[in-house]
Structures are given as structure tokens and as C-alpha cells.
Amino acid sequence: MNGTNVSSSILQRLAGELAELTPEARKAATYVLENPRDVGVSTVREIAKAANVKPNTVVRMARQVGFEGYEDFRAPFREAIRRGAADFPDRARWLQDISKSGDLGGLFADMVRDVMANIEETFAGISTDNLETAARAIWSARRVLTLGVGVNNSVARNFTYLASTGMTEFHAIPRPGSTPVDDLAWADQNDVLIAITCKPYRSEVVEAVSIARAQGMTIIALSDSPASPIVRMADHGFVVSVDTPQFFPSSVSIIALLETLLSFVVAVASDEIVERVETFHARRHQLGMYHTEEK
């Protein structure tokens, strides 16, 4: 959701209480964590119906995290919507104009709106302290494995390629002809796993994170909900917004977050990373990999 610090902290608190809730209350909490935008615009009965629970279950869930009832619980989410709309009036007017352009203008407006909203919402819920802590874990690791399958495989490989210009033990998994579990066989507490999956969560990624946790690896997870199984198992979990009018989840905020994380790694690294990047690019120039105009 657009979110303020208040609504984000409620979601974090709710995610932390998830294991302590009754099965029915957990269903309600999971729905809220995965659909926080609905809270500010829905009644208790609407949320209960969407989560397939009774209204009093939703009320009990709200009380579990310190509120008197659902209305008190909903208030910060309503405020988040109000504040978000007020912060970007020029953007809203621009999108209104685009949507009236005819033919594919409405779809174009929806795509542009969601791309910007995904970036905004993702970074609104992430602190620099958490990014710095994850970055230091990456820099101090013996080896870093980045796991993504399906659409996230190319995202993981792009991130690994960028990181490899300055770090030598960065690997995208699964490797060709392998499986994520095979690639984790010799990993231990000296290594970091960066895992990416969004709903519907890929079973091989969830399984790999579970194995990595058992082997003592440090886990950095990127997913679309605090209730995501990989975020709940992670040492450093980051929730990304992937909304889109299309059938596929958007990768924009995932890529942006990974690029930001990499910039933090470079910032906290020792001076040798600068020398490595310079050497890497010098060699590419020497090998004629960059086009130059003849004089």
C-alpha cells in the first residue's frame, strides 16, 4: 500500500504475531498482509468475507495487535490513503489526462501509475538501517547465491552480473542443468542466499530457503507480502510491491530494490571493490568489448 510509517509498523507487528494467532485469525491476518490497500476502504464484513472468516474473527485479529476494534485498526490505513493521494496531485492530474487520450490510453495510464506506485510503496516500507545491515552481510560473506526462478531468474542473473563487476564470489542459481537444492549443497553459515519469489510462491524457492536456513546461511528475501514463507524465514526480509493491471507481477520494484541494495554494498565495502571495478572495466576496454567510433 502507499503507506505511512504507522500503517507499515502495524503490518510488521501483525506479521510478527502471525504464528501466535488461531488458524481463523491467521487467515484474516494473512489477507490483510497480502491486501493492505483493502483495509482502508473496506468494512469489517467485507474484509471477513474476502478472507473467508467471520467478522468477529477480524475484530479479534485487530485486538491481538493492540487495537480496541476494527475501526481503530483501520484508521491508520485510511490516513495512509489520504496522505498518499495528497502528496502527488500533479501526477494524478497527468494520469487523468493520459486516461482520456483514447484507445490504449487507459491501459497506459494504469501501467504508469502502478510502476510509480510500486516503487513508492516498496521504498516507503524499507529503512536505510535494514538495507545497510543486509549489505554488510553480503560484503562479509564468503559466497553469495542469488536465487530466482521463472521471471525472477533473469532478475537474479542481472543482479549477479552487476555485482560480479566488483565481487568475485557472486553466483546466480539454479545453474544450468542444476537445481537450487543442488547448488546449496556445500553452503553454510559463511554464505548468503538472496531469494526472490512472489505469489504464487514457487515451491523450489521456498524449499531452498528452508534448507539454507537449516544449513546456517544468512537469508535475504524479497517477496510481495510480510506473510510470504520466504520473508518469514529470512534474516533480512524486504517486501516489494508488484501490482500491475496485467496478469504478470511487475518486476520493476524488485529490480530497483536490488540495485539499491548493491549500491549499499559498494558503499559499505572496503576500497578494494573500487580497484576491482576499475580492473574489470579496463580489461573490457583492452579486449575491445566497447564500441568506439573511428577517428
Q: Is the pLDDT of residue 93 over 60?
A: no
Q: Is the peptide bond before 200 cis (omega within 30 degrees of 0)?
A: yes
Question: In this structure, what are the phi and psi dihedrals at residue 146, rounded to the nearest 5 degrees?
Answer: -110, 120
Q: Is the pLDDT of residue 102 over 60?
A: no
pLDDT of res. 89: 44
pLDDT of res. 158: 94
CA distance 199 to 225: 9
Query: Rg of the chain over CA atoms, in angstroms?
Result: 21
Q: Is the pLDDT of residue 141 over 50?
A: yes
CB 226, CB 11: distance < 8 Å: yes
Other beta carbons within 10 Å of 56: 12
Q: What element of type H or E holds 231? A: helix 229-233
CB 172, CB 146: distance < 8 Å: yes
pLDDT in tens, 241-272: 988 766 677 899 999 999 999 999 988 886 77
pLDDT of res. 271: 73
**Lowest-pLDDT range, 60-64, 77-81, 84-88?**
84-88
89-99 helix and 105-124 helix, angle to the nearest 10 degrees = 160
**Lowest-pLDDT range, 41-55, 66-80, 133-147?**
66-80
CA distance 257 to 220: 12
Arithmetic mean of pLDDT over the chain:
84
pLDDT of res. 265: 92
pLDDT in tens, 163-182: 888 788 899 999 999 999 99
Q: What is the pTM of this model?
A: 0.68
pLDDT of res. 107: 66
- Return the amino acid letter for 143: R
pLDDT of res. 290: 75
The DSSP result for 164-214, as a single string, is: TTT-SSEEEESPTT--HHHHTTT--TTEEEEEE--SSPPHHHHHHHHHHHH
The full length of the chain comes to 295
pLDDT in tens, 208-224: 999 999 999 999 999 99
Of residues 108 and 73, the one with the higher pLDDT is 73
Query: What confidence tier does 41 reach under pLDDT thresholds 50, 70, 90?
Result: confident
Q: Is the pLDDT of residue 105 over 70?
A: no
The three grid cell numbers given for residue 175, joined into one nine-digit string: 545453474
Of residues 216 and 112, the one with the higher pLDDT is 216
pLDDT of res. 1: 39
Residue range 134-149: average pLDDT? Answer: 96
Query: What confidence tier does 92 reach under pLDDT thresholds 50, 70, 90?
Result: very low
